[in-house]
Amino acid sequence: MRRRLLLGGAGSAATSNLIRSLRAGGRPLTLIGCHSDRFMLRKSTADRNYLVPALTHPGFFRALRRVIAREKVDLLIPTTDAEVRAFTRLRTKIPCRLFLPRKAVVDLCQDKYRLNRVLRARGIPAPLTYPVTSLDALEALFARFPARTLVWCRVRSGSGSVGAIPVKRPEQARSWIAYWNEMRGVPTRSFTLSEYLPGRDFSCQALWKDGALILVKTAERLSYFGGGANPSGTSSVSQLAKTVFAPRVVEVCAAAIRAIDRKISGTFNFDLRENAHGVPCLTEINAGRFPSGTNIFDLTGRFNLAAMYVRVALDEPVELREEYDPAEGYYTVRDLDTPTGIFRADELFDKIVDARE
């Protein structure tokens, strides 16, 4: 049976990469895209595309329901945190299948400080973190961290390392927060201070249904897209990444999900970084959506995670002997306006002549 899927954010890098993964899944699909930006929509690689109002517009859900009815959509797939949040709130008014966690889970994961408190309270490795209540409180907060160490200052919601920077002194954090408040309208109380994690940077994607782990994959970020121009020097968007065997990362992520909801369903993208002792610590969980670089989890290893998501979401039979699919030895390279490159380690120098002396 040809399944019909509707994806938000059509034309964006995240949705284009997800479409690539779904088409590589080896089954017939009709992929329909929608977006509120007609210029972005023109770039979409979906089979058909619909211009809809902005997500915040009162007419958005009315237009969405018309598209779903016209195209006989089987499954609606959000591609941004904003879509995940909106769809979980109004899921009973969406006339097709959704495969998302409960609203309470989404709300928790989209507040990084609340999530951090829950994880640490339940013994899940996560960085020591404090909320910023005022600029005058920064000296007292810094005194809670070891002397002469870096402190991570960031906004407690959002993606792409928004508002994130490592700082050494309270006055640096004060200037950074004041700038975001005055120039970007971000309230002081939206910031947190966390212990700086100096180790390896991991990404993990997992698929769950009714509290059971179905499939999980792991990767390591090696360099960052736009990292050189970013004050933090890092980003959640990798430029170079590799697939890795990291069972400790899987263990931490699985423990976190079970601590949040024993009957959880949906897909989850985890960010982790090792602390000074080499322990992978959870810094955030993106609930209900795939990352923009999803191809590293879909086009490597034995199983295509995005394709498996569709099967599980539509209650189709799935038989996997092992939940963890560690596809070691693959690298992904990403850059502006080019498709993600995926190469095995032994293919990295194919068609390349070494002209170095």
Q: What are phi and psi of 124, to 5 degrees?
A: -90, 130
Angle subtended at Cα 147 by Cα 145 and Cα 150, rounded to the nearest 5 degrees: 70
Q: Is the pLDDT of residue 82 over 90?
A: yes
Mean pLDDT of 26-45: 96
Q: Is the pLDDT of residue 215 over 90?
A: yes
158 — pLDDT class (breaks 50, 70, 90): confident
Give me the residue spans of the domains in the chain. Answer: 3-98, 128-195, 201-347
Secondary structure percentages of the chain, helix, strand, coil, to 5: 30, 25, 45
**The two domains 3-98 and 201-347 share their CATH topology (first three levels equal):** no
Six-digit token string for 70: 């016209």
Q: Is the pLDDT of residue 28 over 90?
A: yes
Query: Which CATH topology does 201-347 take?
Result: D-amino Acid Aminotransferase; Chain A, domain 1 (3.30.470)
Q: Is the pLDDT of residue 67 over 70?
A: yes
Q: Strand, helix or coil at 73? A: coil
Angle subtended at Cα 92 by Cα 22 and Cα 57, rounded to the nearest 5 degrees: 80
pLDDT digits (tens, 9 = 90+) for 309-340: 999 999 999 988 899 999 989 999 998 888 89
Mean pLDDT of 288-300: 96
Mention the CATH class of domain 128-195.
Answer: alpha beta
Query: Which CATH topology does 3-98 take?
Result: Rossmann fold (3.40.50)
| Torsion angle, alpha carbons of 47, 50, 51, 54, to 10 | -100
Q: Find the length of the chain.
A: 357
- pTM, full prediction: 0.92
Q: Is the pLDDT of residue 159 over 80?
A: no
* pLDDT on residue 133: 95
Mean pLDDT of 266-277: 96
Q: Is the pLDDT of residue 161 over 90?
A: no
* pLDDT on residue 236: 73
Please compute, for residue 352, the number of CA atoms within 13 A of its CA located in the half-sphere on the CB side. 7
Q: Which residue has the tokens 């170095």?
A: 356
Mean pLDDT in the chain? 94
* pLDDT on residue 157: 87
